[in-house]
Structure 1
């Protein structure tokens, strides 16, 4: 998180070689810009174009065009959408300009238009990407009148810890998983200036809608900008937000929602990976939100049961007392499997006892299909790909073996001895669903990222997606948590603790007898000990020392460059001062002391033609 960026007037991206050129002058086309003609600068909504174009404003809608207006322009024989990003500019002498073809409607306010320039620099992307995110999800011709001020109601007492956090301009509140986040939001709204509005972000659309509905029932005017798809209703909520006078609630894209009188920013579960865009540019909603707060000079509050190092470097940590934090985490049952056969299955006696007690149980293992690793039952040869040597996995149907590395498929036959019988060493959720159903004697639902609908059975098995599809459970069981602890990712510890925190929220705290069962061969791992003792600081201390020593984010600014054009891009980058360049063959890692150095260097490079993926602050590297 940083407010560094290009100076005003800089940062205009170069036009790619294959981008359309400005139209040539014609009979009814462009004319030289005169002193009496108002000219605006437009970013066209066309992928691959990073250049801005100048257009003159016709008199018929001159009084309605402003920075942020959505317009239609003629560009290389096509009429395309665009955004006015600068008003009353001076076109270079002798340059022919065309009139704006049409005024489409209301677009992002001027502060978000300016923020898009910073974001394009910060995440090495096209400005268009962020203008799309900041635009209404449908045409908005005009804004409604702001709602009347609500009557003064009784706020929920925030408690001393939350009250202390709200007193800071830049605070990170470590709120235990079982704590009431709604009470915190209500307290934050009450602490916001009467003539100002708050922006509240949730990690998912469903959570944002639930929070907005609860606030509405309490009488608060709310604009919920969280939506699954564009449409009239979504555009109406965006217009209500842009009109002012309402609390704006959204998910990741909500970081770009219009809030004309911003008074406070609250980001719930700032650690959640859903806040970061998976596609390039890899912008992060948390960082956009706090940058808005910084520019507006208003308080920002980041909330999480296990704050990220990025958040902790940005703001002041406010944590509850030890007894309060322990009450907010459930009992953790550690099943130590160090003395068991490594090939033993995942259905242990402690798990069976938990299932027999009744109540809803969610079992988690992050492996899809029937198996992720198998061995021949006759000759004990591992099932490996004959093309690349990767492990062979069985899908949900179990009728083929597919390579997890190159995708090659073959029949379920041992390549060494021809046997068709295999022993599962690492079962997936499909195989475990069958085993669990046999164990409990009832149906078991399977949940993965591609599953549809809500699970209905008492016992549920799935990947971590199950933790987001089930609203409440009596117990959560991690059947193979070592897979998360040993994942080959820089943020593996943070991500593993976040999974445990999510499970803790499902079962609530100790007072409600919630339980999380964890099967592991590493019971002394710092992540498990942190959850066991309700002390996330243990992970923070280890993570911080590791990342400082290895020069990892957030103590170094990192970018990954990949794709067919990656080598050409890195060649054009060269070896500027302060940039470490590592890698090759289409995959490169760039590191610098801070984002100012890294992002300035990336902004100075013209993108070569071809597929290119730039990931600044990669989430899973």
Structure 2
């Protein structure tokens, strides 16, 4: 019997070793999928590299491996090193990450079941290699210059590096992605393309499928069925898929011939996992490129400030596309000062759109053009209220309001999902006159239809108003159908959340308006201006994508703070100036990227339990810090987040700050093993997690 080290899915706080030892009748290569006994269960595991520092153990105490899934080739060394790094950096166990990123269907299969799946996969017809691709579009001078730098690395003829492709919206970044993937494929390698959200996957998949008809393209995202996800994962792992297109989890997809990694909209917060192992897919993509010595391409019109600083410092190579394809103009930005608009009569609500904006919309409708209204708040109204006693529709399980959804007459909490019927009268005083407070996309859609009801479209008929948000696209296929209607010109005014502000190529949109962006600007999160600027720039980029209409494309912003520096930079489409001002503020305040953060989050029914746990954790962290590091490491006291209670659990958090990433990682490595035993001493603590490089503070 041979001793093997196996990574199994056990949480770090369980106090077990990173990998457990078992006995095998035959030598097993690291990366081999097995099933092993763990307690009273039989669980999946991966044979892992032997830790030379592991404590010795008597073989007589070890259990044998239950089953070896030999039909699956072992996961290779670079993949295992990526998992090892992720576990160390994000303070999770190796097995927890290694098994969590495998397809759920694969973790459930036994050897016979896997054999049947592989036989079925082998029967799939291969793509026709003789299929002809459509003619490639001519490159702009900017694209040609970018590709002259990028393509040698994609072919393997130059040293790989991480590149930042900073291109304005409509500048042809997708064509650069396609040509980079093409160069890697011609060199016999595979391409990995990451997108931030599922709703961007179908249209990008269509672009890649059209360009590479003789190549096998697979997608990886949560919208797939378990069987589809396993099938696509196997095709990638076996080297039969040439292109893999997916959301953040696809960064862990095993690719034996990886040649290039593309991260589209690299600034998007969706790349950060917000539960379980809280990893950043963008950062791991950069590390994976370094591990496997392949080029990484980060693309964005509004890069994150961390990425921008790396590019300015020369750590990343900066590639620029400052102009739109066809020399199209960027939309003219108009900042509408809402303090100068006429006040509504006493007792009446102000209209959702100011008169100048409404007139601009009317002109678009009369010309047969489209308008996009951006409001990042779904539902009919954020809250229902009683004017007599002050009652508001709070959630009984969260410290948040329940949102009024008029279509199904419900009050719904967007944090815990609790929903109830709208009461006929105020629950506190019986007043029948309860009314919506504020405005969501459902209400805006209704009000816009009323405001434009007196206009007739060029072809005849009333103005067609549509809405795209998480509520209207809940059913399978509904998003694709609504987007197709917009592209076909069957919609005159589109109301939507940030789902429609990025990635979509709306050729008929010439006017984009941000109805109420101020709510996103004044929050406690220091990243709020950066996120709002990125969102508004992305929204503006939906206008004027047709070069013939670019000259009359506009972006209108209704704001109560028109003097804010963010809007001045937005008028000039000057991301560099905005980034410079933000970085100067961050440096003065000692905030990322000039410092490095980690959060310890916890939840309990009783807030006193959560706070006591965090206070002891704080004392343990401070006890680990030598006096000479007092100025470089700071552990703050526990505080409540903005939404302190969710689904009946009180949430608390504690911030750790360090001047250098190495110092922070040193402290976390010493401190995290103490948190598991500490949790056992606090009965009633539901869960806790360390969040390295948090996005929401």
TM-score category (smaller protein)? 0.7 to 0.9
Partners of 1:39 and 1:88 within 8 A in 2 = no
Partners of 2:273 and 2:280 within 8 A in 1 = yes
Partners of 1:269 and 1:302 within 8 A in 2 = yes
1:58 aligns with 2:35: no
Partners of 1:376 and 1:422 within 8 A in 2 = yes
In structure 2, the partner of 1:259 is 255
Larger mean CA deviation between 603-612 and 263-272 belongs to: 603-612
Change (3 A) 1:438 1:206: closer
1:43 aligns with 2:23: no
Q: How far, CA to CA, are the matches of 2:386 and 2:127 in structure 1?
A: 71
In structure 2, the partner of 1:288 is 284
- Specify which of 601, 622, 635 is matched with residue 581 of structure 1: 635
The Cα shift of 1:172 comes to 0.8
Q: Structure 1 unaligned runs (5+)? A: 1-36
In structure 2, the partner of 1:177 is 169
Partners of 2:374 and 2:539 within 8 A in 1 = no
Q: How far, CA to CA, are the matches of 1:393 and 1:465 in structure 2?
A: 22
Change (3 A) 1:40 1:148: farther
1:500 aligns with 2:536: yes
In structure 2, the partner of 1:17 is none
In structure 2, the partner of 1:189 is 181
In structure 1, the partner of 2:659 is 593
- Specify which of 303, 306, 310 is matched with residue 307 of structure 1: 303
- Specify which of 397, 422, 428 is matched with residue 440 of structure 2: 428
1:463 aligns with 2:497: yes
Change (3 A) 1:225 1:58: farther
The Cα shift of 1:71 comes to 1.1
Change (3 A) 1:546 1:93: same
Task: Output the TM-score relative to the length of structure 1.
Answer: 0.81
In structure 1, the partner of 2:211 is 218
SS of residue matched to 2:636: strand
In structure 2, the partner of 1:278 is 274
1:491 aligns with 2:456: no
SS of residue matched to 1:612: strand
Change (3 A) 1:250 1:116: same
In structure 2, the partner of 1:159 is 144
Change (3 A) 1:601 1:378: closer
Task: Output the TM-score relative to the length of structure 2.
Answer: 0.73
Partners of 1:215 and 1:222 within 8 A in 2 = no
Larger mean CA deviation between 144-153 and 604-613 belongs to: 144-153
Partners of 1:223 and 1:241 within 8 A in 2 = no
Q: Structure 2 unaligned runs (5+)? A: 107-113, 153-159, 311-315, 454-462, 486-490, 603-609, 640-651
| Matched ranges for 1:373-392 at <5 A | none
Cα deviation, 1:473-504, whole Å, max 9, x if unaligned, reads 61332111212222332211221122123323
In structure 2, the partner of 1:520 is 559
- Specify which of 81, 84, 96 is matched with residue 47 of structure 2: 84
- Specify which of 62, 76, 82 is matched with residue 97 of structure 1: 62
SS of residue matched to 1:574: helix
In structure 1, the partner of 2:647 is none
- RMSD across aligned C-alpha pairs, in angstroms? 4.0
In structure 2, the partner of 1:333 is 334
Larger mean CA deviation between 400-409 and 217-226 belongs to: 400-409
The Cα shift of 1:230 comes to 4.5
In structure 2, the partner of 1:603 is 669
Cα deviation, 1:541-561, whole Å, max 9, x if unaligned, reads 111111111222222111111
Cα deviation, 1:26-55, whole Å, max 9, x if unaligned, reads xxxxxxxxxxx3221112134564532111
1:72 aligns with 2:13: no
What number of residue pairs does the alignment pair up?
Answer: 580
SS of residue matched to 1:99: coil
Q: How far, CA to CA, are the matches of 1:179 and 1:247 in structure 2?
A: 23
Q: How far, CA to CA, are the matches of 2:217 and 2:401 in structure 1?
A: 49
Partners of 1:331 and 1:510 within 8 A in 2 = no
Cα deviation, 1:503-554, whole Å, max 9, x if unaligned, reads 2343344723343221112334333333322221122111111111122222
1:448 aligns with 2:469: yes
The Cα shift of 1:159 comes to 2.1
The Cα shift of 1:101 comes to 0.3
Larger mean CA deviation between 506-515 and 539-548 belongs to: 506-515
Q: How far, CA to CA, are the matches of 1:529 and 1:561 in structure 2?
A: 37
- Specify which of 115, 120, 126 is matched with residue 82 of structure 2: 115
Q: How far, CA to CA, are the matches of 1:377 and 1:231 in structure 2?
A: 50
Q: How far, CA to CA, are the matches of 2:36 and 2:569 in structure 1?
A: 57
In structure 1, the partner of 2:353 is 347
SS of residue matched to 1:346: coil
Partners of 2:218 and 2:245 within 8 A in 1 = yes
The Cα shift of 1:217 comes to 3.1
1:570 aligns with 2:571: no
In structure 2, the partner of 1:231 is 226
In structure 2, the partner of 1:364 is 374
